[in-house]
Amino acid sequence: MPGPWLVIPTYNERPNIEALVVAVLPHMREAGGRVLVVDDSSPDGTGELADAVAAANPDVEVLHRAEKDGLGRAYLAGFHHALAGGADLVLEMDADFSHDPADVPRLLAASQSADLVLGSRYVEGGGVREWGLFRRMLSRGGSLYARTVLGVDIRDLTGGFKCFHRRVLEEIHLERIQADGYGFQIETTYRAIKAEFRVEEIPIVFTERLRGESKMNARIAIEAAWKVPDLRRRGRSVK
C-alpha cells in the first residue's frame, strides 16, 4: 500500500519487539503507513511474537527469513518487500529502542524537502547516552574516517535511523550492495550522494539498549573499515 513503511530487522529481540511496535505504530498510522518486521529466524521466538502483534494490528507485517544472514541482507529484503507493496517512503530503525520512536515524525517531516533523511548523533543537538569513552571514540572515529576517505559532508555515516524516498532506493542499485552492518549504512548513504540526491541530517539522541545483547562485533567494524576505500575507488561507478 502507498505511504511510508518502517522496516525493523530483528534477531533475538523478543524482549523489545512488541513494546517497540506498540510505541512506533501510532506515528506510522498517523502518516498513513505501516510497520514491517524482518526476522532472521530468531531462536528466541522473536518472529512468533511479532506474528502475534501483526495478527492484532493490520498495519503490521512480518517477513520471515530462513536464516541469519546479516543486517544488510535483512534490510535489503525489507526494502524490496516495502517497494513491492507500494511504499513511497521507507524508514529503517533499530529494534532495541536505541532510536526513539517519537523521532519518527521528525524524519517524515524532513522528507518533504530531502530525498534521504538521516537521524544524526553528530550534528548540533544530537548525541548518545549510556556509552563509555571507548565506544564514543570508536563511533565518532568511524564516521570521521568514512567521511574523510569518501569526501562527503555527512557527520553521521554509520547511523541506522533513516528515511528514504522510493526514488532513492530505486536509483542506487540495491542489488549491487554487499556491505553489512556499519558498512551497509555507509554504502547506502554514499550511493544516494553520488546519485545526486539531497541528503539531510537531523539531530537525534541515541540510547544504549536496555534489554538483550548488541549485534555489533569486530567483524562488522573491520568490514566497514575496508569497504570505505573500496567505495572511494569505485567513485561514480557506485551509481
pLDDT tens track for 135-147: 777 777 778 888 8
Q: In the predicted model, is pLDDT for residue 218 greater than 70? A: no
Q: In the predicted model, is pLDDT for residue 193 greater than 90? A: yes
Q: In the predicted model, is pLDDT for residue 215 greater than 60? A: no
Q: What is the pLDDT of residue 146?
A: 87
| Backbone torsions φ then ψ of 101, nearest 5 degrees | -55, -30
Domain interval for residue 52: 4-238
Cell numbers linked to 121: 548523533
Cell numbers linked to 8: 525493523
Instruction: Give the range among 149-158, 183-192, 226-235 with minimum mean pLDDT.
Output: 226-235
Q: What is the pLDDT of residue 90?
A: 98
N-terminal to C-terminal alpha carbon distance within the chain: 28
Across the range 203-223, mean pLDDT stands at 67
Look-up of cell digits 544504549:
208
**pLDDT over 90 percentage in the chain:** 73
**What residues are paired with 199 via a beta bridge?**
116
Instruction: Give the range among 53-57, 66-70, 145-149, 226-230 with minimum mean pLDDT.
Output: 226-230
Q: In the predicted model, is pLDDT for residue 134 greater than 80? A: no
Q: What is the pLDDT of residue 137?
A: 74
Q: What is the pLDDT of residue 179?
A: 81
The residue with greater pLDDT, 25 or 182, is 25
Q: In the predicted model, is pLDDT for residue 195 greater than 70? A: yes
Helices 133-150, 181-194: inter-axial angle, 10-degree rounding: 30
With bands split at pLDDT 50, 70 and 90, how would you rate the model's confidence at 37? very high
Kindly report, residue by residue over 6-25, the tens digit of the pLDDT.
Answer: 999 999 999 999 999 999 99
**Residue 51's domain is classified under what CATH number?**
3.90.550.10
Q: What is the pLDDT of residue 149?
A: 92
Single-letter amino acid, residue 51: D
Q: Is 200 exposed, middle or buried (0-12, 13-18, 19+ CB in 10 A)?
A: middle
Measured distance CA(151)–CA(146) in Å, rounded: 8
Q: What is the pLDDT of residue 186?
A: 92
User: 72 near 38, Cβ under 8 Å?
Assistant: no
How many distinct structural domains can be found in the chain? 1
Q: In the predicted model, is pLDDT for residue 221 greater than 60? A: no
Across the range 101-113, mean pLDDT stands at 98
Mean pLDDT across the chain, nearest whole number?
Answer: 90
